[in-house]
Amino acid sequence: MSALLDEQRGLLEQLVNPQRVRRAGRTFWCGQWAGQEVVLVLSKVGKVAAATTTTVLIEAFDVKRVVFTGVAGGVGAGVKVGDVVVAEAFIQHDLNSAPLFPRYEIPLYGRATLDCDPALSAALLAATHLGLAGVGDHFHRSLLLEAPVVHRGLIASGDQFVCDPSAAALMRADLQAAGHEPLAVEMEGAAVAQVCHDYGVPFAAMRTISDRADAQAHLDFSAFVTQVASPYALAVLGQFIKHQ
């Protein structure tokens, strides 16, 4: 599952015998990649849209595993533009049913964070290292970025594009006060994690850091997606699929 069309384009070119299926206003591409049956789809943006996409993937296409690649804002210390975060768990930073439930807790789930599948995430982490090593340094150099660092940890999702440093700092401080240390912020992952949790389908996710969730966040977003995040997603998933 990809968040943006540009990120999906390179993946689509890898599909052997691609079949286009329309469901719920979404286009699903079924085919083979490195001998594996795969379905490629855009999540659409935001938690509800991503939850619908995931539900259709599982119910209509019977997928056995879900892997997400996309971009995110870096909010953790030392998480810089061009780095990659492989998710260990997700939380919804905009979920607050207090005083009925503790802040961030998903009502009736008894928990705030949902873990990614450890084995699938370990495979995605290994593929991320191999993929980034394979693409070399011309992608990050094209935007004058330092060599990417791969992080592992918590990603926070919410229905906001965070592009204000004080909003990002407040979000992080509030999460920290509740015992959570987010590395990145985006708009879909926690929803995909929740649907996969409900169905018992293993889920893993990687996000390339496109911005620092500050006032510069919208600048050069599409250049970054085209020049860095998309080749990274392709390289990482190419390694991932080879080792499945």
Would you name the residues annotated as active-site residues? 7, 211
User: Does 7 sit near ligand SAH (CB under 6 A)?
Assistant: no
User: Does 187 sit near ligand SAH (CB under 6 A)?
Assistant: yes
> Considering only residues 37-56, where is the footprint of ligand SAH by CB under 6 A?
45
Cis peptide bond prior to 182, omega within 30° of 0 = no
User: Does 213 sit near ligand SAH (CB under 6 A)?
Assistant: yes
Query: For residue 78, what are the CA distances in angstroms to 9, 140, 157, 216?
Result: 30, 17, 19, 17
Beta strands 66-74 and 203-211: pairing type? parallel
- Other CB atoms within a 10 A radius of the CB of residue 85 amount to 27
User: Does 73 sit near ligand SAH (CB under 6 A)?
Assistant: yes
User: Does 164 sit near ligand SAH (CB under 6 A)?
Assistant: no
Of 14-22, 114-122, 148-156, 157-165: span binding ligand SAH (CB under 6 A): 157-165
Instruction: Compute the distance between CA of residue 210 and CA of residue 86 in angstroms, rounded to an integer.
Output: 14
User: Does 91 sit near ligand SAH (CB under 6 A)?
Assistant: no
Which burial class, exposed, middle or buried, applies to 6 when counting CB atoms under 10 A from its CB (0-12, 13-18, 19+)? middle
- Other CB atoms within a 10 A radius of the CB of residue 107 amount to 9
> Are the beta carbons of 206 and 85 closer than 8 angstroms?
yes
Pick one of 41, 58, 63, 72: the residue that binds ligand SAH (CB under 6 A).
72
Number of chain residues interacting with ligand SAH (CB under 6 A): 18
> Are the beta carbons of 100 and 108 closer than 8 angstroms?
no
* Smallest distance, ligand SAH to C-beta of residue 5, A: 7
Nearer to ligand SAH, 119 or 219 (CB): 219
Pick one of 91, 156, 185, 235: the residue that binds ligand SAH (CB under 6 A).
185
> Are the beta carbons of 87 and 206 closer than 8 angstroms?
yes
Of 51-59, 65-73, 107-115, 135-143: span binding ligand SAH (CB under 6 A): 65-73
* Smallest distance, ligand SAH to C-beta of residue 41, A: 14
- Residues that bind ligand SAH in the complex, under the rule CB under 6 A: 3-4, 45, 70-73, 161-163, 185-188, 210-211, 213, 217
